[in-house]
Amino acid sequence: MAHFRTGTIVGSLCCLTLASCTAIEHGRELQQAQQRMDEATGRRPSWAVDTPLGELAVPPGGEVTLDTAINLALTSNRVLRADIEVIGQAKAELVQAGLLSNPMLSVMLRFPEAGGRTSLDFGLVKDFADLWLIPSRKRAAQSMLQQKLLAFTDNAVGLLRDVSTTYVMLQYLDRAIELQVENLEVLRQAIDVAQARLRSGGATQLDVNLLEARRLQGELDLLQMRDARRTTQLGLLRLMGTSRASADWRPTPLPLEQPDESLGEEALVDWGLQRRLDSGERMARRGIPGRNIAADTARASIANGQLSAPEIEPRSTRRAERSQEIDFVLGPVIEVPLPIFDQNQAQIAKAQYRARELHERYSELEQRTVEQIRSTLVTRQTAAKRREIYQASLLPVQQSNLQVAETAYQTGKETVLTVLLAQQDLIQTRLGLAGAIRDELTATANLERELGGRLPRNDEIASDNAAGPQRSAHNETDP
């Protein structure tokens, strides 16, 4: 009978175990991340549980576009792929929060000291406090999962910024190397002219030495530029998740013209604040061992008030009682803590202080977000102003100086050295213009990062202001 009931218990536990098995998939959460990324940046990467690694395919022209670099990074960057697994862990925690804790099964084998039948006890204990704790645990786990999703999307937006700024730096270095090569060629021509004038007595050795020193410094600058380009390209390959790929490719040329985006500071701050992604009784067996005459005598004497002999039962009677033995006692046990010493006042106060702390930290985050948006916007506006000065004023002046020098040389008023120096100044101005464009593009990428993904259009700002209250209410209920 004991073996049969034991098998029944074990079988029931196995059935409950199989019934509680839950498949854990986080594909739905990755689709939510794709949707958030699409809303934030206008890009919808192919995120899946087992996203295959991408490879850098260099087109025949040898140019890799920024879109290619970004798309490859969003699927193959190792840090971002690790964050996908973090979402899976949070989903597993959510599933775990909805499960009842396992009951405790105990088996006790006891041997009576005075002999007799062996006692085999079973215990099955389950704490049913999970029944009212599970909803709270699931809400906490769901909030943590949403936090991981937001953090993952925010990291993806940050990765997009890193790829964009690194790509812009690579574009600038290509342009800088090109202009530096032209500058060195001009200096070589100037040195040849100065040496010819030295031989004819029209120049001094100091003129030649000064030009030679400028050329050597230019050679050193070119070495540093090429080293920086190589390092920047390798860093971009790492961000793209293809650090072992060939470096025999180049980015697209640095754009010389930038779109005019006249967006107000206040509108951008409001846009960024709305869209940033930064919260049973154990079974008792009654055995009848062999008679203990001394103990039975003591019990009988106490019951009769005088020394009495114990009652002697025949073997048949003892056998009948043994056949009516109770093998199992089943029944629940309810244990409820009494709030006598600890009435949870400290925990309630702690929760209140924690809520106020989080409110203040949220306010500080808002303050910091506003500061970063405004500071980045100032940097971008300054870089745009520099670009405008280069393009509208300084570059035309240097071009005019070169034309004047060439005209003076053709009329014999100036030597070719003046032409070469004017040409060198023009090249340096072009390099300064490229630096201003680089800074503006970098500031634009940083501003998009602070705004939560991208720069808004004027029509989006207008429609967002018109539907402000409704959008805020929607954001509060959006999981």
**pLDDT for position 438:** 92
**pLDDT at position 384 over 80:** yes
Q: Give tens-digit pLDDT for 34-64.
A: 888 887 788 888 887 777 888 888 888 889 9
3-state secondary structure the chain: CHHHHHHHHHHHHHHHHHHCCCCCCCHHHHHHHHHHHHHHHCCCCCCCCCCCCCCCCCCCCCEECHHHHHHHHHHHCHHHHHHHHHHHHHHHHHHHHCCCCCCEEEEEEECCCCCCCCEEEEEEECCCCHHHHHHHHHHHHHHHHHHHHHHHHHHHHHHHHHHHHHHHHHHHHHHHHHHHHHHHHHHHHHHHHHHHHHHHCCCCHHHHHHHHHHHHHHHHHHHHHHHHHHHHHHHHHHHCCCCCCCCCCEECCCCCCCCCCCCCHHHHHHHHHHHCCCCCCCCCCCCCCCCCHHHHHHHHHHHHCCCCCCCCCCHHHHHHHHHCCCCCCCCCCCCCCCCCCCCCHHHHHHHHHHHHHHHHHHHHHHHHHHHHHHHHHHHHHHHHHHHHHHHHHHHHHHHHHHHHHHHHHHCCCCCHHHHHHHHHHHHHHHHHHHHHHHHHHHHHHHHHHHCCCCCCCHHHHHHHHHCHHHHHHHHHHCC
Q: Give tens-digit pLDDT for 151-205.
A: 888 888 889 999 999 999 999 999 999 999 988 998 888 888 888 888 888 778 8
Q: What class is the 63-107+127-254 domain?
A: mainly alpha
**pLDDT at position 477 over 60:** no
* Domain ranges within the chain, ordered by starting residue: 63-107+127-254, 258-279+355-479, 282-330
What is the band of 326 on the pLDDT scale with cuts at 50, 70, 90? low
**pLDDT for position 408:** 86
**pLDDT at position 333 over 70:** no
**pLDDT at position 328 over 80:** no
**pLDDT at position 126 over 90:** no
**pLDDT at position 479 over 50:** no
**pLDDT for position 320:** 56
Share of the chain above pLDDT 90, in %: 20
**pLDDT for position 135:** 84
